[in-house]
Structure 1
């Protein structure tokens, strides 16, 4: 049930954990009961794909009071889907647990295909426009690019250790992958050739590509979180923060290329200036109910338009926020 919560209800959630959130959303609604394992927000902020702890996978269209689709990854039983991704054109989605991945049409809501991985557990997935290609990062350090239509499969063997994060360009021609070997690679899904390599002083925990082909973002488990020129491979800016460690769970670039929006496991969503790396906004989402201490992981973030942002967290809540005034 898609239910708007009042500010009073939000305060009750906060007070139950003895901590009042730093920020209050413009709107807040529950999209899964009992919390979420994973979530993704579409590039335009209009769709949310959420893997619920107890009720499978739901697709929501922004502003509607019922889910658009409800899916079950492997039939009846416990839902263990920990990775989800929406293609940049909102046409397809991919979901995965540790041992299998599935693709879905967001036009019809129907499943397209289901594939099991025997070699090593799945760590992250991403899907290109039209569902033409899927990137699958695995715990053995290998990355597979798979074309469902033709069955073509390419194995990228550049990494030496476990993969933590993957992304793919909308046209499916390039993948960005990062792992425990302290490096992120931008590589061709046609040839497997490395286009750029981005080195870090510690394991790379998150990678993200700008869908318009301008930027790449790579972040490690310590202090280096870098925005790169994806065409030249040269650094543009490093995110500026004092903390000795800052982990990110999602990242997306604004359509105008001015901002990077990130989610974190600390209930926080941050807005950054792409050219300077300076933080220009921060929000704190509501915690998961009955958690002590209060906590939530921000799984998905997105730009609704030039004035509004959306977050989806492990609390099972989607929250709408206003952009800071410039």
Structure 2
């Protein structure tokens, strides 16, 4: 929260949603006022100088911001484990996403204005990005750091691929060449020449010794990377080839073209095996899926799933509002990801034929730097029914006033309320979180718009029944652990409504229900209610999937508390030692979650038995 927020009379007036008024933000605040007139002026200019649909890639980036192209998606790629996806577009940002949750994990500044090409390394540890500045950049996924920069092309790089061994990369460019790079040194190993126009796509064969390229000259070429010479040329398209993919076994290739078709080729012989027709306009992108299927996207705004062996159209996917610019399929073939100039990223269930998730890059969810810092939804009804809550409690053998315990899972958008019974705590209800802000990871500083993660408690003094957002519990940030790292912030709440800059917004109805149960427990003698805020459900599989993340070590310190509660259904005791959380089993007879304290595990006590002492020998000179 900001200093301005603290100056308000109500303790949490504007809590979590107060606008930041720094000098840095004033220009941003004025942007909406200027955007309308500027767009009108540019529209009038556009009437005098028409801009074609395909010309957006060449628009000056400054104008592109006002014309709305800045977040158009040009390319998508999916990690080998299917867990992350990466997108690039008309701005200079490469965005890394968590596929199951749709959360934005990281942004990488590719400094290229327009990103046209992306690829994951086979181990998923690196991302190769390239675009309009003719430069390739290799980033480390775990740290986000730029590892290598490769320069050598004379024009836009339109496609990149990384070899199966992860040591080499290929790039295709509008300068009519392909270049082979050594990723370990960043040095250019070889230039491949032979196409007579833009080289639009390139892929490695599974053996890593050959590669296939596609071009606006209507052909495909199979290259021997040892000699740098083409082994064969595939001809048959009637217009520029726009995209290319090789089957997992390397025996077949499929190409897409402006001639509205897909063509399936035998890689060994170069023979055309089959032509797929169904897109009414140019085919822009494609990928192999499992089960002998091909997924294509086109300027007609649809994706089409084909049977590669029969040529039959299996299914059509609709949902984009503009051309499908790029598509990628997970290794197991269960899902696909598509991007478009409509600024939408869509995750598709290929077998079910529906959209699993849509991510709108124009949404207020994303700030100018690309991170999620304002997430909001529609508030539910304004009140909860106490009689209905009491009925549900009775059905579970519970009552108002029993001790309660809260667990929050950011990425899952869920909060759990547990109520104490004879044999430990039992789950009463799981509530959807309507809004939280920031990224996965702990809150670090006042004004960072970040919702906290860690272990907190709520006492009576932290309740606000008259919050601007209906009702609110202050979770007690910063706790002892946060203060050990000099972290700052205030008025971090679980509250009603559905807007957040730093808090967990539950809607008014759900905060009402939580309020009934939390306040009843405190009134009945529970001194403090424990609140455990996790980034996600801390399963071994989920934590392993985020092993690359910069906060992975912090999350590993949270996991013992999750595991202990999962095993015992008793909230664990949490303390702090040497700036780390220390977790021990909870007590079955405990009604309250004690506030955090410094408590380092004590070493075993040394034995109090005295060691034998060597006595001097008697002096026989004396009687």
Deviation of the 1:237 alpha carbon: 2.0
* Cα distance change on mapping 1:107 and 1:215 into 2, 3 Å: farther
Distance 2:107 2:268 in 1: 42
Q: Deviations 1:157-209 (Å, cap 9, x if unpaired)? A: 12111111112234543211111222101111111122332112222111212
Structure-2 residue corresponding to 1:207: 286
For residue 135 of structure 1, the aligned residue among 209, 212, 220 is 212
Structure-2 residue corresponding to 1:168: 246
Deviation of the 1:32 alpha carbon: 1.7
Moved more, 34-43 or 90-99: 34-43
**RMSD value, Cα:** 3.7
Superposed counterparts of 1:143-182, under 5 Å: 143-149=220-226, 151-182=229-260
SS of the counterpart of 1:131? coil
Q: Which structure shows the higher strand fraction?
A: 1
SS of the counterpart of 2:322? coil
Q: Is the 8 A contact 1:73 1:79 kept in 2?
A: no
Structure-2 residue corresponding to 1:95: 171
Q: Deviations 1:267-300 (Å, cap 9, x if unpaired)? A: 221011102321111113379979xxxxxxxxxx
Please report the TM-score for the alignment, with normalisation by the length of structure 2.
Answer: 0.40
Structure-2 residue corresponding to 1:114: 191
Q: Which runs of no fewer than 5 residues in structure 1 stay unpaired?
A: 1-7, 291-304, 310-326
Distance 1:92 1:36 in 2: 24
Q: Is the 8 A contact 2:349 2:355 kept in 1?
A: yes
Superposed counterparts of 1:50-89, under 5 Å: 50-51=129-130, 53-54=132-133, 56-74=135-153, 80-87=156-163
SS of the counterpart of 2:275? strand
Q: Is the 8 A contact 2:136 2:151 kept in 1?
A: yes
Structure-2 residue corresponding to 1:319: none
Q: Is the 8 A contact 2:302 2:323 kept in 1?
A: no
Q: Is the 8 A contact 2:343 2:361 kept in 1?
A: yes
SS of the counterpart of 2:157? coil
Structure-2 residue corresponding to 1:183: 261
Distance 1:136 1:283 in 2: 31
The structure with the largest alpha-carbon Rg is 2
Please report the TM-score for the alignment, with normalisation by the length of structure 1.
Answer: 0.71
Q: Is the 8 A contact 2:138 2:146 kept in 1?
A: yes
Structure-2 residue corresponding to 1:196: 274
Q: Is the 8 A contact 1:128 1:172 kept in 2?
A: yes
* Cα distance change on mapping 1:39 and 1:17 into 2, 3 Å: farther
Q: Is the 8 A contact 1:122 1:139 kept in 2?
A: yes
Return the structure number with greater relative CO, CA threshold 8 A, min gap 6: 1
Distance 1:257 1:36 in 2: 29
* Cα distance change on mapping 1:114 and 1:251 into 2, 3 Å: same
Structure-2 residue corresponding to 1:28: 106
Q: Is the 8 A contact 2:194 2:230 kept in 1?
A: no
* Cα distance change on mapping 1:161 and 1:79 into 2, 3 Å: closer
Q: Is the 8 A contact 1:91 1:129 kept in 2?
A: no
Deviation of the 1:260 alpha carbon: 0.8
Distance 1:195 1:204 in 2: 18
Deviation of the 1:54 alpha carbon: 4.8
Distance 1:24 1:259 in 2: 13
Structure-1 residue corresponding to 2:316: 238
* Cα distance change on mapping 1:44 and 1:229 into 2, 3 Å: farther
Q: Which runs of no fewer than 5 residues in structure 2 stay unpaired?
A: 1-19, 36-70, 72-100, 370-540, 547-623
* Cα distance change on mapping 1:225 and 1:138 into 2, 3 Å: same
Distance 2:359 2:192 in 1: 38
Structure-2 residue corresponding to 1:221: 299
* Cα distance change on mapping 1:48 and 1:65 into 2, 3 Å: closer
Deviation of the 1:123 alpha carbon: 2.4
